Amino acid sequence: MREVKITACQFRVEKAASFEVFKNQVEELINQVPEDSDYVIFPELFTVGLLGSFPDQDNLTAADLIKIDEYTSQYKEYFSQLAKKREQIIIAGSHLERREDKYFNIAYIFDKNGSYVEHKKTHIFPAEANWQTSEGDELEVFSIGPAKIGLAVCYEAEIPEVSRILSKKGAEIIFSPSYTFTEAGFWRVRHCAQARAIENQVYFVHCPTVGEPGDPLPNGYGRSSILSPCDHAWTANGIVAESETNTNTLVTGVVDIDDIYENRENGAATTFVDRTRREDVYAKYEPFNSMNNPSVSPK
């Protein structure tokens, strides 16, 4: 058995008058995290409350969210120190960050020694255009901690190719920091997260930002979950652990990595292999040629 303990911190965003206030919000949650959790994850753009620290906050709009980039160095330093202090791997959600003349939605994994790796979100949600967000171009799998892990930030969970590439590159757990503004948005990501777990035979961790912070910040809706492929080794509905909806809370679950490989060999559904077993059939339909310029509506 190769057991891994995961804790998802469902962060209820509030306006933060300073970075110290934001840190206090983080520590309210992380102080409840079991010391033996191998991975701790926070949600997407959970730093947005820092927009409340600017003196002109009442006149700001959603387009001004990029101003939180001013806290990038403090954000990185804080989570680097926190991971080192707690001796835990922390997936510190994501943060809007400027690189040269572009802004990216970047998710960070902080290792126990304080070092970190990053993932630039490759598919931005349409509403992110308001934040001048550019898209990243890399999908990497990281051997950090007891499992091979990948990141699919929110909308990336709705793009099947992202998780397929990560699983083919060896990902055993895919972590998805998320920020969905409506109940429908939450369910889109949640249903897709479950589908990605089933079709790739991996664990999928969905961790959303929640709360009603007030204009110009968007509301967050959701509940965190740790999901499995819905087969013999797990619960029938695939839920390893799940939080309450829209609360400032955390959820912890234990998964066995060896079960993934056993399931790929002997599961009722062997989708990881079967998705490529009939590539001869798929090739006849030239899907990527037709998808290069898809129509939004019928002609």
Tokens 């709360």, residue located = 211
Identity of residue 58: D
Tell me which residue of 217, 279, 221 sits closest to 245, measured CA to CA.
221
- Catalytic, out of 44, 128, 156, 158: 44
Residues forming a β-bridge with 178: 208
Q: Which two tokens stand for residue 164?
A: 């397929």
Among 9, 76, 97, 121, the one annotated catalytic: 121
Contacts (Cβ under 8 Å, ≥6 apart) of 164: 199, 200, 275
Of 154, 192, 207, 230, which residue is the catalytic one?
154
Among residues 194, 266, 264, which one has the least CA distance to residue 228?
A: 194
140 is catalytic: no
User: Does residue 121 carry a catalytic annotation?
Assistant: yes
Radius of gyration of the chain (CA): 19
Active site residue 207: no
Instruction: Check: CB of residue 151 under 8 Å from CB of residue 107.
Output: yes
Preceding amide of 218 cis, omega within 30: no
For residue 139, give the amino acid letter: L
Catalytic residues: 44, 121, 154
